[in-house]
Each structure stands twice: as C-alpha cells, then as structure tokens.
Structure 1
C-alpha cells in the first residue's frame, strides 16, 4: 500500500484547519522523479534531503512538520536528521502512517493555535 491515502487524508484535515484560520501549510514535493541536472539546480537553490511532507505555520507563529509514511514505512537517515534539527529548535514534528496518527498532530496544532488565540499583547509601559 502506498503513502497516497494517508497523504490525501492529512491534506484534507490541514485544509480544514487552514480554513478556520488555525494554520497555513504547504507540501514539499521532494522524492518526485527528476533529472540529475534538475536535482542539482534545486539543491543549489536550497532544496534539501529529508524535509517533511508538510510544512505548517500555526497561529501564533510556531512551526510544525508532518512526515507521512506508508504502513510499515520508516524514515530515512536524512528525515531523522531533519526531524532532530526541527525538534531542537522547538518545532512540532509528527510522523504519521494512519489517520489516528494524523489526528494526534492535528490535536496538537489545534491546542497550540488555541493557546495563541488567548495571548494578549503586553501593555505599553512607555
């Protein structure tokens, strides 16, 4: 079984959150077939191996990443390295191969978005 069904599910769930103003997201099309010349050009422009499938900015500015896997799929070393770098910087990072795992990350995004909505700007003391 491929990653496509879980990818479609995650995209639909993220679209709902985006429509609610809780996040903005985009898909990173790494892993698609391309020529060596085109791959080199992308790398020169800043593309990197291991980037998660979805990059998400949550209301309040926190970053989140969602890596999707087919059932029994595992992360590559590049993906594990990218995950560790993101988590070290405080980003939310989730790996999902089932709708339930997607929902875990969705709940975290909703919680963080809700907390951001409760923040009030500091009063100007000047």
Structure 2
C-alpha cells in the first residue's frame, strides 16, 4: 500500500529536505550549516517548563540556514505538509520579525518547495516575497 502525498506528515517532509541537503554538500558546502530548531513536539509538563526556561519559544521556524546571500543574513523555513497547513499567529510574528531583521523567510508546503527555496537562496536568485511566505 502506498502513501498518498497528502498524508505525509510535516516531520517526514522535513526529513526529506535534510536528506537532500546532506547529499548536496559537494555543490553547496554551506548546507552543512542547515539545522532544525526543535521547538515542536509533545513533551511532558516538566520537560516543557525546563525547555521554556532554556529559551524555547513558540513560533520559531523549523529550519535555519545561517548563511548570508543576496543581501540577507540567513534563511529561515517554516515547514508544512505538501497539502498545506496552518501558519499560527506566533509563526507569522516570528517570520515577520526575522524578515524585518534582514533574513529571508519562507513557508514551504512539502519538501519539494523547501528544496527549491534552498536552491534559489544559495544560488542568490532571491528570496520569496514576505507576503507569500507569511
């Protein structure tokens, strides 16, 4: 039985992006700096309180590429499933603040869109418009 793309969860889409990035470091060595910000997920109350004290904040985008390109300080990507997903008010606020601070930001529906954004960003072809990303 094959899975419909619309049923692929966001975390698996993100795994596909990181697998692609790992295989592209000969072309773009900067991709070794791509990392996940582990803000999401279900946690017990004690662990959630501890992480909050350590600086975990709701809405921080899923992926960060701290590499300057095309006049931007870095790239932040909020991942969603290929068939879409809701961008929370906290996520919108983070994306807007990061964009205002000089970062490229994008909301990507699925791994293919995220890979395209990473390729375009690294090739300095530009950054998605904030209105589209948020």
Instruction: Please state which band the TM-score falls in when normalised by the shorter chain.
Output: 0.7 to 0.9
Matched, 1:3 2:10: yes
Classify 1:21/1:15 alpha carbon distance in 2 versus 1 (closer, same or farther; 3 Å): same
Classify 1:96/1:65 alpha carbon distance in 2 versus 1 (closer, same or farther; 3 Å): same
Q: Which has the higher contact order (CA 8 A, sep 6+)?
A: 1
Retained in 2: the 8 A contact 1:51–1:82? yes
Post-superposition offset of 1:59:
5.4
Number of corresponding residues: 113
Cα deviation digits, residues 59-101 of structure 1 (max 9, x gap): 5782211111112211111111110011001101111113442
Matched, 1:15 2:22: yes
Q: Distance in 2 between matches of 1:14 and 1:92?
A: 18
Cα deviation digits, residues 24-55 of structure 1 (max 9, x gap): 11112222111122111111111100111111
Q: TM-score, normalised on structure 2?
A: 0.72
Over the residues paired in the alignment, what is the CA RMSD in angstroms? Answer: 2.3
SS of equivalent residue, structure 2 residue 34: strand
Greater shift in the superposed pair: 59-68 or 39-48: 59-68
Q: TM-score, normalised on structure 1?
A: 0.76
- Which is greater in Rg? 1
Please list, as runs of the form range in 1=range in 2, the aligned pairs for 1:1-126 lying within 5 A after superposition. Answer: 1=7, 2-19=9-26, 20-23=28-31, 24-58=33-67, 62-70=73-81, 71-112=83-124
Retained in 1: the 8 A contact 2:66–2:74? yes
